[in-house]
Amino acid sequence: MTRELSYAEAVREALRQAMEQDPGVVLLGEDIGTYGGAFGVTDGLLEQFGPERVRDTPISEAAITGCAIGAALTGLRPVLEVQFMDFITLCMEQLVLQAAKIRYMFGGKAQVPLVLRTPAGAGTGAAAQHSESLEAWFVHVPGLKVVAPSTPRDAKGLLLASIRDPNPVVFVEHKLLYRTRGPVPEEPYELPLGRAEVKREGTDVTVVATSGMVPRALAAADRLAEEGVSVEVVDPRTLRPLDTDTILASVRKTGRVVVVYEGVKTLGVGAEIAARIAESDALYHLQAPVVRLGGAECPIPYNRNLERAAVPQEEDVVQAVRQVLAA
Protein backbone atom coordinates (compact mmCIF):
# COMPACT_ATOMS: atom_id res chain seq x y z
CA MET A 1 0.00 0.00 0.00
CA THR A 2 1.39 3.41 -0.99
CA ARG A 3 2.06 5.66 2.00
CA GLU A 4 0.45 9.08 2.26
CA LEU A 5 2.22 12.43 2.56
CA SER A 6 1.00 15.97 2.81
CA TYR A 7 1.61 18.25 -0.16
CA ALA A 8 4.27 20.12 1.84
CA GLU A 9 5.97 16.86 2.80
CA ALA A 10 5.96 15.73 -0.83
CA VAL A 11 7.67 18.94 -1.94
CA ARG A 12 10.23 18.57 0.85
CA GLU A 13 10.92 14.96 -0.12
CA ALA A 14 11.44 15.97 -3.74
CA LEU A 15 13.95 18.62 -2.68
CA ARG A 16 15.75 16.16 -0.40
CA GLN A 17 15.98 13.44 -3.03
CA ALA A 18 17.13 15.87 -5.72
CA MET A 19 19.86 17.16 -3.40
CA GLU A 20 20.94 13.64 -2.47
CA GLN A 21 21.23 12.64 -6.12
CA ASP A 22 22.87 15.81 -7.45
CA PRO A 23 25.35 17.89 -5.40
CA GLY A 24 24.70 20.77 -7.82
CA VAL A 25 21.16 21.27 -6.46
CA VAL A 26 21.19 24.19 -4.00
CA LEU A 27 18.40 26.04 -2.21
CA LEU A 28 18.15 29.82 -1.87
CA GLY A 29 15.56 31.94 -0.12
CA GLU A 30 14.47 34.05 2.81
CA ASP A 31 14.26 32.06 6.06
CA ILE A 32 14.45 28.68 4.30
CA GLY A 33 17.26 27.43 6.58
CA THR A 34 16.89 27.79 10.33
CA TYR A 35 13.22 28.77 10.11
CA GLY A 36 12.35 26.13 7.50
CA GLY A 37 10.57 28.49 5.11
CA ALA A 38 7.44 30.61 5.47
CA PHE A 39 5.27 27.47 5.35
CA GLY A 40 7.77 25.00 6.81
CA VAL A 41 8.43 23.24 3.52
CA THR A 42 12.23 23.26 3.80
CA ASP A 43 12.28 22.29 7.49
CA GLY A 44 15.21 19.99 8.31
CA LEU A 45 17.11 20.44 5.05
CA LEU A 46 19.66 22.82 6.55
CA GLU A 47 20.60 20.20 9.16
CA GLN A 48 21.02 17.53 6.48
CA PHE A 49 22.82 19.51 3.77
CA GLY A 50 24.44 22.44 5.59
CA PRO A 51 24.52 26.20 4.97
CA GLU A 52 26.52 25.92 1.73
CA ARG A 53 23.58 24.24 -0.01
CA VAL A 54 20.65 25.66 1.99
CA ARG A 55 21.27 29.40 2.00
CA ASP A 56 19.28 31.97 3.91
CA THR A 57 19.40 35.10 1.78
CA PRO A 58 18.90 38.82 2.29
CA ILE A 59 15.36 40.14 1.88
CA SER A 60 15.67 40.98 -1.81
CA GLU A 61 13.79 38.87 -4.33
CA ALA A 62 15.68 40.51 -7.20
CA ALA A 63 19.02 39.63 -5.61
CA ILE A 64 17.94 36.04 -4.89
CA THR A 65 16.81 35.52 -8.47
CA GLY A 66 19.91 37.14 -9.93
CA CYS A 67 22.10 34.95 -7.75
CA ALA A 68 20.19 31.86 -8.85
CA ILE A 69 20.58 32.77 -12.53
CA GLY A 70 24.32 33.21 -12.08
CA ALA A 71 24.56 29.90 -10.24
CA ALA A 72 22.59 28.14 -12.98
CA LEU A 73 24.82 29.59 -15.70
CA THR A 74 27.89 28.19 -13.95
CA GLY A 75 26.54 24.65 -13.72
CA LEU A 76 24.47 24.48 -10.52
CA ARG A 77 20.75 23.74 -10.33
CA PRO A 78 19.38 26.30 -7.89
CA VAL A 79 15.90 26.12 -6.39
CA LEU A 80 14.86 29.48 -5.00
CA GLU A 81 11.85 30.19 -2.86
CA VAL A 82 9.83 33.40 -3.11
CA GLN A 83 7.80 33.43 0.11
CA PHE A 84 4.56 34.66 -1.46
CA MET A 85 3.76 34.80 -5.16
CA ASP A 86 2.90 38.49 -4.80
CA PHE A 87 6.61 39.16 -4.20
CA ILE A 88 7.51 37.67 -7.57
CA THR A 89 6.81 41.17 -8.86
CA LEU A 90 10.14 42.20 -7.32
CA CYS A 91 12.15 39.78 -9.47
CA MET A 92 10.39 40.27 -12.80
CA GLU A 93 13.39 41.85 -14.52
CA GLN A 94 15.73 39.03 -13.56
CA LEU A 95 13.21 36.31 -14.32
CA VAL A 96 11.59 37.66 -17.49
CA LEU A 97 14.39 39.65 -19.14
CA GLN A 98 17.29 37.42 -18.09
CA ALA A 99 16.39 33.83 -17.13
CA ALA A 100 13.73 33.39 -19.81
CA LYS A 101 15.83 34.80 -22.66
CA ILE A 102 19.45 33.77 -22.09
CA ARG A 103 19.23 30.36 -23.74
CA TYR A 104 17.59 31.86 -26.82
CA MET A 105 19.94 34.85 -27.06
CA PHE A 106 23.03 32.63 -26.85
CA GLY A 107 21.79 30.08 -29.36
CA GLY A 108 21.41 27.33 -26.79
CA LYS A 109 25.03 27.52 -25.67
CA ALA A 110 23.98 28.82 -22.23
CA GLN A 111 21.26 27.28 -20.08
CA VAL A 112 19.46 28.50 -16.96
CA PRO A 113 18.24 25.36 -15.14
CA LEU A 114 16.61 26.98 -12.13
CA VAL A 115 13.31 26.45 -10.34
CA LEU A 116 11.47 29.29 -8.62
CA ARG A 117 9.09 27.85 -6.00
CA THR A 118 6.37 30.15 -4.75
CA PRO A 119 3.17 29.75 -2.66
CA ALA A 120 0.14 31.34 -4.32
CA GLY A 121 -3.53 31.81 -3.72
CA ALA A 122 -6.12 33.07 -1.27
CA GLY A 123 -7.80 31.41 1.68
CA THR A 124 -5.47 32.17 4.57
CA GLY A 125 -6.63 35.69 5.43
CA ALA A 126 -3.34 37.15 4.23
CA ALA A 127 -5.06 40.00 2.34
CA ALA A 128 -4.25 41.81 -0.89
CA GLN A 129 -0.44 41.69 -0.88
CA HIS A 130 0.02 38.03 0.10
CA SER A 131 -2.79 36.14 -1.68
CA GLU A 132 -2.49 36.54 -5.44
CA SER A 133 -2.41 33.97 -8.24
CA LEU A 134 -0.19 35.53 -10.90
CA GLU A 135 0.71 32.45 -12.94
CA ALA A 136 -0.87 33.86 -16.13
CA TRP A 137 1.82 36.57 -16.22
CA PHE A 138 4.52 33.93 -16.63
CA VAL A 139 2.59 31.68 -18.98
CA HIS A 140 2.80 34.68 -21.33
CA VAL A 141 6.62 34.59 -21.35
CA PRO A 142 8.41 32.36 -23.91
CA GLY A 143 11.41 30.69 -22.29
CA LEU A 144 9.71 30.01 -18.96
CA LYS A 145 7.88 26.86 -17.96
CA VAL A 146 5.03 27.15 -15.46
CA VAL A 147 3.95 24.21 -13.29
CA ALA A 148 0.99 24.16 -10.90
CA PRO A 149 0.45 20.72 -9.28
CA SER A 150 -2.72 20.00 -7.30
CA THR A 151 -1.85 16.78 -5.43
CA PRO A 152 1.07 15.58 -3.30
CA ARG A 153 1.97 12.92 -5.88
CA ASP A 154 2.02 15.47 -8.69
CA ALA A 155 3.96 17.96 -6.57
CA LYS A 156 6.81 15.52 -5.96
CA GLY A 157 7.05 14.13 -9.48
CA LEU A 158 6.71 17.47 -11.22
CA LEU A 159 9.21 19.19 -8.91
CA LEU A 160 11.83 16.51 -9.57
CA ALA A 161 11.21 16.89 -13.31
CA SER A 162 11.41 20.69 -13.02
CA ILE A 163 14.74 20.58 -11.18
CA ARG A 164 16.22 18.37 -13.91
CA ASP A 165 14.83 20.47 -16.76
CA PRO A 166 17.41 22.70 -18.54
CA ASN A 167 15.01 25.65 -18.58
CA PRO A 168 13.80 28.07 -15.87
CA VAL A 169 10.60 26.85 -14.23
CA VAL A 170 8.09 28.78 -12.12
CA PHE A 171 6.67 26.18 -9.72
CA VAL A 172 3.39 27.34 -8.19
CA GLU A 173 2.29 25.79 -4.88
CA HIS A 174 -1.16 26.77 -3.62
CA LYS A 175 -1.04 27.56 0.09
CA LEU A 176 -4.28 25.72 0.87
CA LEU A 177 -2.88 22.54 -0.65
CA TYR A 178 0.09 22.25 1.74
CA ARG A 179 -1.91 20.28 4.33
CA THR A 180 -3.80 18.09 1.88
CA ARG A 181 -2.71 14.46 1.86
CA GLY A 182 -2.48 11.74 -0.74
CA PRO A 183 -0.49 8.70 -1.88
CA VAL A 184 3.12 9.42 -2.84
CA PRO A 185 5.67 6.77 -3.92
CA GLU A 186 8.78 6.74 -1.76
CA GLU A 187 11.31 6.33 -4.57
CA PRO A 188 12.32 9.28 -6.77
CA TYR A 189 10.18 9.63 -9.89
CA GLU A 190 9.47 12.25 -12.50
CA LEU A 191 6.18 13.23 -14.08
CA PRO A 192 6.61 14.77 -17.54
CA LEU A 193 6.10 18.50 -17.88
CA GLY A 194 3.44 19.40 -20.42
CA ARG A 195 1.12 16.49 -19.75
CA ALA A 196 -2.33 16.96 -18.24
CA GLU A 197 -4.21 14.34 -16.23
CA VAL A 198 -7.87 13.45 -16.16
CA LYS A 199 -8.54 13.41 -12.43
CA ARG A 200 -12.10 12.13 -12.83
CA GLU A 201 -13.78 10.51 -15.84
CA GLY A 202 -17.15 11.87 -16.97
CA THR A 203 -19.45 12.18 -19.95
CA ASP A 204 -21.68 15.26 -19.55
CA VAL A 205 -19.39 18.23 -18.83
CA THR A 206 -15.64 18.86 -18.83
CA VAL A 207 -14.30 20.96 -15.98
CA VAL A 208 -10.73 22.12 -16.60
CA ALA A 209 -9.38 23.22 -13.21
CA THR A 210 -5.94 24.43 -12.17
CA SER A 211 -3.97 24.28 -8.92
CA GLY A 212 -6.10 24.85 -5.82
CA MET A 213 -9.29 24.76 -7.90
CA VAL A 214 -8.85 21.06 -8.65
CA PRO A 215 -10.07 19.80 -5.23
CA ARG A 216 -13.04 22.17 -5.45
CA ALA A 217 -13.88 20.89 -8.93
CA LEU A 218 -13.70 17.29 -7.72
CA ALA A 219 -15.92 18.08 -4.73
CA ALA A 220 -18.39 19.80 -7.07
CA ALA A 221 -18.33 16.73 -9.32
CA ASP A 222 -19.24 14.54 -6.34
CA ARG A 223 -22.23 16.76 -5.56
CA LEU A 224 -23.38 16.86 -9.16
CA ALA A 225 -23.10 13.07 -9.43
CA GLU A 226 -25.89 12.89 -6.85
CA GLU A 227 -28.04 14.79 -9.36
CA GLY A 228 -27.13 12.39 -12.16
CA VAL A 229 -24.58 14.70 -13.81
CA SER A 230 -21.32 13.08 -14.92
CA VAL A 231 -18.45 15.57 -14.71
CA GLU A 232 -15.00 14.98 -16.15
CA VAL A 233 -12.25 16.92 -14.33
CA VAL A 234 -9.05 17.69 -16.23
CA ASP A 235 -6.00 19.08 -14.43
CA PRO A 236 -3.44 20.62 -16.84
CA ARG A 237 -0.74 20.39 -14.13
CA THR A 238 1.64 22.29 -16.41
CA LEU A 239 0.39 25.64 -17.69
CA ARG A 240 3.33 26.20 -20.02
CA PRO A 241 3.70 24.01 -21.99
CA LEU A 242 -0.05 23.35 -21.98
CA ASP A 243 -1.33 19.90 -22.91
CA THR A 244 -4.03 21.02 -25.32
CA ASP A 245 -4.57 17.51 -26.71
CA THR A 246 -5.89 16.06 -23.45
CA ILE A 247 -8.21 19.03 -22.93
CA LEU A 248 -9.58 18.88 -26.48
CA ALA A 249 -10.13 15.14 -26.29
CA SER A 250 -12.29 15.66 -23.21
CA VAL A 251 -14.21 18.50 -24.87
CA ARG A 252 -14.97 16.36 -27.91
CA LYS A 253 -16.35 13.69 -25.59
CA THR A 254 -18.57 15.86 -23.39
CA GLY A 255 -19.46 18.83 -25.60
CA ARG A 256 -19.62 21.22 -22.65
CA VAL A 257 -16.79 23.00 -20.82
CA VAL A 258 -16.24 24.99 -17.63
CA VAL A 259 -12.75 26.37 -17.00
CA VAL A 260 -11.98 27.14 -13.34
CA TYR A 261 -8.95 29.13 -12.20
CA GLU A 262 -8.22 31.38 -9.22
CA GLY A 263 -6.43 34.27 -10.94
CA VAL A 264 -8.42 37.30 -12.00
CA LYS A 265 -10.80 36.26 -14.79
CA THR A 266 -9.67 38.85 -17.33
CA LEU A 267 -6.83 37.47 -19.50
CA GLY A 268 -6.35 34.56 -17.09
CA VAL A 269 -5.21 31.02 -17.86
CA GLY A 270 -8.79 30.08 -18.61
CA ALA A 271 -8.96 32.61 -21.43
CA GLU A 272 -6.10 30.82 -23.20
CA ILE A 273 -7.73 27.42 -22.69
CA ALA A 274 -11.05 28.74 -24.03
CA ALA A 275 -9.28 30.26 -27.04
CA ARG A 276 -7.51 27.00 -27.88
CA ILE A 277 -10.84 25.19 -27.79
CA ALA A 278 -12.35 27.84 -30.10
CA GLU A 279 -9.44 27.55 -32.54
CA SER A 280 -9.71 23.76 -32.84
CA ASP A 281 -12.16 21.30 -34.33
CA ALA A 282 -13.46 20.74 -30.79
CA LEU A 283 -15.47 23.93 -31.33
CA TYR A 284 -17.86 21.93 -33.53
CA HIS A 285 -18.49 19.47 -30.70
CA LEU A 286 -19.63 22.19 -28.27
CA GLN A 287 -23.30 22.16 -27.33
CA ALA A 288 -22.97 25.38 -25.30
CA PRO A 289 -20.49 28.27 -25.02
CA VAL A 290 -17.41 27.75 -22.85
CA VAL A 291 -17.90 29.11 -19.33
CA ARG A 292 -14.91 30.73 -17.60
CA LEU A 293 -14.97 30.85 -13.80
CA GLY A 294 -12.15 33.04 -12.50
CA GLY A 295 -11.28 35.39 -9.69
CA ALA A 296 -13.11 38.65 -9.07
CA GLU A 297 -11.86 41.90 -10.59
CA CYS A 298 -10.49 43.18 -7.29
CA PRO A 299 -7.55 42.75 -4.91
CA ILE A 300 -8.01 39.89 -2.45
CA PRO A 301 -9.88 41.19 0.64
CA TYR A 302 -8.82 40.46 4.21
CA ASN A 303 -12.37 39.84 5.46
CA ARG A 304 -13.02 36.10 5.40
CA ASN A 305 -16.43 36.28 3.71
CA LEU A 306 -15.23 38.77 1.11
CA GLU A 307 -12.12 36.67 0.50
CA ARG A 308 -14.30 33.64 -0.24
CA ALA A 309 -16.41 35.71 -2.60
CA ALA A 310 -13.33 36.89 -4.51
CA VAL A 311 -12.26 33.44 -5.74
CA PRO A 312 -14.28 30.46 -7.07
CA GLN A 313 -15.66 28.10 -4.46
CA GLU A 314 -17.17 24.62 -4.76
CA GLU A 315 -20.69 26.06 -5.00
CA ASP A 316 -19.61 28.36 -7.84
CA VAL A 317 -18.36 25.36 -9.82
CA VAL A 318 -21.67 23.57 -9.25
CA GLN A 319 -23.61 26.59 -10.48
CA ALA A 320 -21.33 27.01 -13.52
CA VAL A 321 -21.89 23.38 -14.53
CA ARG A 322 -25.65 23.80 -14.14
CA GLN A 323 -25.41 26.93 -16.28
CA VAL A 324 -23.59 25.21 -19.12
CA LEU A 325 -25.99 22.26 -18.99
CA ALA A 326 -28.96 24.59 -19.25
CA ALA A 327 -27.57 26.57 -22.20
- Count Cα atoms within 13 angstroms, Cβ side, for 232: 23
DSSP state of 73: H
Enumerate residues 6+ apart whose C-beta is below 8 A from 131: 84, 86, 121, 122, 123, 124, 300, 307
> Is 140 designated active site?
no
DSSP string computed for 22-53: -TTEEEEETT-SSS--TTSTTTTHHHHH-TTT
61 is catalytic: yes
Nearest to 269 by CA among 209, 199, 180, 317: 209
- Between CA 88 and CA 95 the distance in angstroms is 9
Within 8 A by CB and 6+ apart from 304, the residues are 125
Closest CA to 95 of 129, 141, 60, 59: 141
Residue 78 Cα to chain centre, angstroms:
19
Q: How wide is the angle at C-alpha 287 spanned by C-alphas 233 and 140, nearest 5°?
A: 55
Among 317, 146, 290, 135, smallest CA distance to 215 is for 317
Query: Could you say which of 130, 173, 197, 307 is catalytic?
Result: 130
Considering 61, 132, 197, 232, which one is annotated as catalytic? 61
CA distance 156 to 253: 30
- Quote the crossing angle between the two packed helices 213-225 and 314-326, to the nearest 10°: 60
Active site residues: 61, 130
